[in-house]
Amino acid sequence: MKKIFDITVAKDKSEASSNEDAFDYDYSKQVFALSDGASESYDSKIWAKILVREFVDTPNISEEWVLKCAKKYLESLDLTNLTESQFIAFNKGSFATLIALQRQSNKVSILNVGDSHIFVFAKYPDNDANSTIKSKAVRYIELFKKPVFTKNPTLISTKVRNNDFIDFNEIEKSLYFKTLDLEYPFSSLTELHKKVSFVLNNSAPINNLRLPNDTAIFLICATDAVAEWIFKYIEANKTDKIFNFLLSLKEDKNKGKFEKTVSLCRHLKTMNVDDSTLAILKCEV
Amino acid sequence: MPYEAQISRTQPTAFLFLVDQSYSMTDKMSTGRSKADFVADVLNKTITELVAKCSKSEGVRNYFEIGIIGYGHETVDNALQGELSGKVINPISELEKHPVKVEQRKKKMDDGAGGIIELDVKFPIWYEAKANGGTPMRAALTMAAEELVEWCDNNPESYPPTVLHITDGESTDGNPEEIAEKLKLISTNDGEVLVFNLHVSASGDKPISFPAGEMNLTDDYSKMLFRMSSELPPALTSYAQEKGYTVSGESRGFILNAEASDIVDFFDIGTRASQLR
């Protein structure tokens, strides 16, 4: 698993330091984490940073791990002389999404809490002739359902009492966790997507469907504004177009293109004005 | 679609409080407190919640601009004092910096990680109870309209301003309905000014929030204030439902003898966790 490209653009471009998104990698451990701190939080910027840093340091999430993060958050704050309003804000807690992934051999374990999204794309080799799978050059593999971007997301909180939606000691059993088998990636598809994508043109059992040799798996992680925008292309049957565009961002000649695209889309109201982060990882099988 | 503009620091929205300070506000409510004391509590609590919504560890972000117009004793005036008296509508960070007074109290709370901490907390007061003279409600609504025309001209892309009018309804300078209708026509490109009316009544009637009609209102002043209130736009209706209110597409921003600070959560400043419902 290696990084292809990453970038973040603040909601308020004149104040980049107010960006509440955070991400971190450790290639030696084959781990990556992305977090989007919620605007309505006392200090979600710090909280998001702690979550990604702690995951990269210790990629074993448990209740104890979350508690350790909450304690670090508390230690980072100056709570002397709070006003009543700050007290109310602090007491509500800080909140953030978390995408945390780790590759071990040919399996990638992924925790995804909140409305950030991880897109899995299979890019087939250009000369492959396996027509049963390769109806297109790029296929989106729906590992997690599309978030409902118009609703308030459930997020990881600095207040333990707000985290009872998930048992952190058994995250593997939760809705928020998936394992992507890089050799048999279609086994990870959501049931609905299996039916929609394959029923009509493929009689082989999907769970046993291998990818053609030299197929690359790309993991594209995005915070909500960017994720919602990417989904517009996928749903308009323009998966190839958006995938190629995102991949082209790594090229030197396209430096600054993502920032310009975000500005334009915000202006055209096709992308929400929000901290916008994109990270592209590539997994060789 | 109206009422969809994102509220941000570059595109804030405004809250303008209109507060009845007339002599009739000395009347006692069924709780034994005067209407004027109730109003001061509602106002300070609502502003505190607004500031809390914008509070970050590093300070207060200016998602909102706030004004208070007081009316009574035959006058209509800016009710903010001291540093804030120069302008009717001020950025919320200025309110946070300049309360009229601050009380210091101790508060215990859980630290989020299993422990209990005791903190010194400052309680700011922006508005103190006042009750004297007549009720020039038409003049107050006119001043609000003048302020909001200017604000909307300066902030054409912003989420439209919200007026929270707190009164017992007994206007002494004529029927205010006609002015309220004009106030509701002032707009930004994102929609018309939202007018909420909080009726403070000594009648002892059960508190009511966001009714869809006049049928359960027994008092003529309540009925008039209901008519003066804006219909809740769809986005606000769904936030009201999230907060547990029974509302429909015909519900209006009218509240009788109840807290108003919940309306703060009707306005989104970005992502809010579902756990904060």
Residue A6 bridge partners (DSSP) = A279
* CB pair distance less than 8 Å for B274 and A159: no
Higher pLDDT, B36 or B277: B36
ipTM of predicted complex:
0.76
List CB contacts (< 8 A) between A36 and chain B: 271
* CB pair distance less than 8 Å for B10 and A224: no
* CB pair distance less than 8 Å for A41 and B273: yes
What pLDDT is attached to residue B205?
A: 75
Q: Which residue of A has its CA nearest to B59?
A: A86
Q: Which residue of B has its CA nearest to A18?
A: B58
What pLDDT is attached to residue B124?
A: 87
* CB pair distance less than 8 Å for B271 and A74: no
Q: What is the mean pLDDT of residues B54-78?
A: 91
What pLDDT is attached to residue A200?
A: 41
Percent of chain B with pLDDT over 90: 51
Residue A51 exposed, middle or buried by CB count within 10 Å (0-12, 13-18, 19+): buried
Torsion of CA A140, A144, A145, A150, to 10 degrees: -110
pLDDT tier, A132 (very low <50, low <70, confident <90, very high otherwise): very low
Closest CA–CA distance from residue B271 to any residue of chain A (Å): 5
Q: What is the pLDDT of residues B101-145, one digit of tens each?
A: 887 777 787 777 778 888 887 888 999 988 988 999 999 999 999
Closest CA–CA distance from residue B181 to any residue of chain A (Å): 32
Q: Which of A25, A26, A51 is nearest to A36 (CA)?
A: A51
Q: What is the mean pLDDT of residues A10-21?
A: 87
Is domain A2-284 given the CATH code 3.30.1490 in the classification?
no
pLDDT tier, A103 (very low <50, low <70, confident <90, very high otherwise): very high
Is B110 at the interface with chain A, CB within 8 A?
yes
Higher pLDDT, B122 or A146: A146
On the question of pLDDT at B181 being above 70, the answer is yes
How is residue B270 written in tokens? 């970005």
pLDDT tier, B261 (very low <50, low <70, confident <90, very high otherwise): confident
Q: What is the mean pLDDT of residues A21-31?
A: 95
How far apart are the C-alpha atoms of A187 and A194, rounded to whole Å? 9
Q: What is the mean pLDDT of residues A24-28?
A: 94
List CB contacts (< 8 A) between A40 and chain B: 53, 269-273, 276
On the question of pLDDT at B77 being above 90, the answer is yes
Least confident of A229-233, A280-284, B206-210, B272-276: B272-276
Is B51 at the interface with chain A, CB within 8 A?
yes
What pLDDT is attached to residue A199?
A: 46
B121 vs A11, A87, A165: nearest CB: A87
**Please, are residues B22 and B221 in contact by the beta-carbon 8 Å criterion?**
no
Q: Which residue of A has its CA nearest to B95?
A: A85
List CB contacts (< 8 A) between A38 and chain B: 270-273
What pLDDT is attached to residue A80?
A: 84
* CB pair distance less than 8 Å for B270 and A39: yes
Mean of the per-residue pLDDT values for chain B?
89
Least confident of A24-28, B101-105, B150-154: B101-105
List CB contacts (< 8 A) between A165 and chain B: 275
Closest CA–CA distance from residue A204 to any residue of chain B (Å): 41
List CB contacts (< 8 A) between A225 and chain B: none
Q: Which of A197, A237, A216, A228 is nearest to A285 (CA)?
A: A216
pLDDT tier, B94 (very low <50, low <70, confident <90, very high otherwise): very high
What pLDDT is attached to residue B254?
A: 92
Is B272 at the interface with chain A, CB within 8 A?
yes
How far apart are the C-alpha atoms of A143 and A243, rounded to whole Å? 16
Percent of chain A with pLDDT over 90: 65
**Please, are residues B43 and B35 in contact by the beta-carbon 8 Å criterion?**
no
What pLDDT is attached to residue A214?
A: 74
How is residue B89 written in tokens? 């509508």
pLDDT tier, B238 (very low <50, low <70, confident <90, very high otherwise): confident
A89 vs B55, B122, B275: nearest CB: B55
What pLDDT is attached to residue A15?
A: 80
Least confident of B146-155, B179-188, B206-215: B206-215
What pLDDT is attached to residue B216?
A: 85
Q: What is the mean pLDDT of residues A28-57?
A: 96
On the question of pLDDT at B219 being above 80, the answer is yes
pLDDT tier, A134 (very low <50, low <70, confident <90, very high otherwise): very low
**Please, are residues A241 and A218 in contact by the beta-carbon 8 Å criterion?**
no
Helices (H) and strands (E) in chain A, counts: 7, 13
Q: What is the mean pLDDT of residues B141-161?
A: 97
Interface test with A, best of B48, B239, B268, B275 (most A CBs within 10 A): B275
Q: Which residue of A has its CA nearest to B97?
A: A83
What pLDDT is attached to residue A197?
A: 52
* CB pair distance less than 8 Å for B52 and A88: yes
User: Domains of chain B by range and CATH?
Assistant: 13-271 (3.40.50.410)
Higher pLDDT, B263 or A133: B263
What pLDDT is attached to residue B204?
A: 72
Q: Which of A14, A10, A56, A4 is nearest to A33 (CA)?
A: A56
Percent of chain B with pLDDT over 70: 99
Q: What is the mean pLDDT of residues B17-25?
A: 93
On the question of pLDDT at A149 being above 90, the answer is yes
List CB contacts (< 8 A) between B96 and chain A: 83, 85
CB pairs < 8 Å spanning A and B: 136
A153 vs B113, B121, B273: nearest CB: B273
Which conformational region is residue A81 in: left (phi greater than 0), alpha (psi within -120 to 50 degrees), or beta?
A: left
Interface test with B, best of A79, A86, A98 (most B CBs within 10 A): A86
What pLDDT is attached to residue A209?
A: 62
pLDDT tier, B63 (very low <50, low <70, confident <90, very high otherwise): very high
